[in-house]
């Protein structure tokens, strides 16, 4: 039997909610599939009610009953950083590690070296850069994630943040809360999104969902990606393709970022690149905080080169209380919540159970869930992380 180590974010400070009386809604919509036809997670069963808070320690992703009935040990923690953390103590004899990108358990080469029993690392959600993939390959550890489970939640959050920045919602709301009514002050930085040039950096599942949701706003859409989209898709959304991000950013008013964190994208949004953008451009980054140079973003906002920056991601996570992105001008930051809405939690919890069921039964995992397997990049990982990735089929 296996030891499963589950690293989740802490419960609400007022305690874990009781379903349904402590929730804003009694139900969440029942979905049958994803827009591209890919099936939703298909575990043999679930032991939770969709709409419950599953991503915190008391929610346990709804896994305890299933795992313990099968004879496995489940250890759930939130302490993951610092000397002698629960994570470091429990990892040494764990067979399975599960964590979320919102509260990542950073699986470094040093930690992997101590985890002699570790066979699989699962991301409950999307994005496995908190696992050192090179070290995982070297040790034959499988890395998997619940692809697409929260893509549309992130896309919705992205569109929200674009509008919040362009319309200058944060300041307008502050004026209302503070009891003011100075209309001129409220609108002196407020613009319409209509007619603006919007650029999408990386047109994968999330990037395409953003394109499809922004198109009705009457914007001019641009994108760049390692793999060009089909001609009929470009025509449908009147997309302008650019060979690289350097060409893209010179021609847009709003940039949204959806690339994975790799050696090639780390620090890519630096001072040099930002200086080539139109003065007063906006950036929304729900991908990974380390894609942006922290101080370059701050300086660009302070100088007015950028009119606004909204991100849902930080480096590191959780971000320290004195992180400059918390207080830089004209920001609309959130604490990596875009992909962990309650409906998204139900999907990635079900997908995590599906992965575990297949893993324990010795069945092949869905290719779209795989990042690395058998010492090499596989499935989604071969497309997103491998340097010589091939186009997804």
Active site members: 150, 288, 317, 336
**DSSP symbol at 375:** T
Helix (H) or strand (E) run with residue 162 in it: helix 151-166
Interatomic CA distance for residues 197 and 254, integer angstroms: 6
Interatomic CA distance for residues 275 and 286, integer angstroms: 21
What is the Rg, in whole angstroms, of the alpha carbon atoms belonging to the chain? 21
Whether 267 and 261 have beta carbons less than 8 Å apart is answered as no
Interatomic CA distance for residues 26 and 40, integer angstroms: 22
**Cβ neighbours of residue 193 under 8 Å, at least 6 residues apart?**
162, 163, 166, 167, 214, 217, 218, 219, 254
C-alpha triplet 226, 229, 231: angle, nearest 5°: 140
**Bridge partners, residue 4, by sequence:** 74, 96
Strand, helix or coil at 273?
helix
**Bridge partners, residue 281, by sequence:** 306
User: Peptide bond before 101: cis, by omega within 30 degrees of 0?
Assistant: no
Length of the chain: 393
Answer left, alpha or beta for residue 236, where phi above 0 means left and psi between -120 and 50 means alpha: alpha
- Between the alpha carbon of residue 200 and those of residues 45, 151, 206, the distances in Å are 37, 15, 10
User: Peptide bond before 152: cis, by omega within 30 degrees of 0?
Assistant: no
**DSSP symbol at 55:** S
**Cβ neighbours of residue 91 under 8 Å, at least 6 residues apart?**
5, 97, 111, 114, 115, 118
Interatomic CA distance for residues 105 and 94, integer angstroms: 14
Interatomic CA distance for residues 83 and 87, integer angstroms: 10
């Amino acid at each position: 039997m296996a030891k499963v180590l589950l690293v989740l974010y802490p419960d609400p400070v007022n305690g874990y909610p009781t379903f349904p009386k402590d929730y804003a809604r009694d139900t969440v919509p029942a979905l049958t599939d994803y827009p591209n036809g890919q099936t939703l997670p298909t575990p043999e069963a679930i032991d939770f009610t969709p709409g419950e808070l599953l991503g915190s320690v008391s929610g346990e992703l709804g896994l305890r009953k299933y795992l313990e009935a099968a004879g496995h040990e489940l250890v759930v923690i939130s302490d993951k950083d610092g000397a002698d953390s629960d994570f470091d103590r429990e990892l040494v004899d764990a067979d399975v590690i599960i964590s979320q990108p919102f509260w990542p358990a950073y699986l470094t080469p040093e930690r992997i070296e101590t985890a002699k029993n570790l066979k699989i690392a699962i991301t409950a959600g999307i994005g496995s850069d908190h696992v050192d993939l090179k070290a995982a390959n070297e040790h034959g550890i499988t890395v998997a994630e619940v692809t697409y489970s929260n893509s549309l939640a992130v896309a919705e959050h992205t569109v929200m943040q674009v509008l919040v920045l362009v319309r200058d919602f944060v300041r307008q709301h502050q004026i209302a809360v503070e009891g003011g009514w100075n209309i001129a002050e409220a609108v002196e930085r407020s613009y319409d999104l209509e007619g603006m040039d919007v650029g999408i950096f990386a047109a994968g599942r999330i990037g395409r969902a953003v394109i499809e949701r922004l198109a009705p706003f009457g914007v001019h859409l641009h994108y760049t990606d390692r793999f060009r989209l089909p001609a009929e898709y470009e025509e449908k959304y009147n997309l302008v393709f650019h060979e690289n991000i350097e060409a893209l950013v010179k021609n847009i008013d709003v940039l949204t970022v959806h690339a994975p964190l790799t050696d090639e994208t780390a620090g890519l949004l630096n001072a040099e690149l930002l200086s080539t953008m139109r003065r007063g451009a906006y950036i929304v980054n729900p991908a990974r905080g380390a894609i942006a140079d922290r101080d370059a973003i701050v300086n660009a906002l302070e100088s007015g080169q950028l009119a606004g920056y909204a991100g849902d991601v930080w480096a590191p996570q959780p971000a320290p209380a004195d992180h400059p992105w918390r207080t830089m001008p004209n920001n609309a930051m959130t604490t990596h919540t875009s992909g962990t809405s309650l409906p998204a939690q139900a999907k990635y919890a079900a997908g995590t159970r599906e992965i575990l069921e297949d893993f324990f039964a010795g069945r092949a995992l869905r290719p779209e869930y795989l990042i690395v397997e058998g010492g090499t990049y596989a499935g989604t990982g071969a497309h997103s992380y491998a340097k010589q990735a091939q186009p997804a089929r």
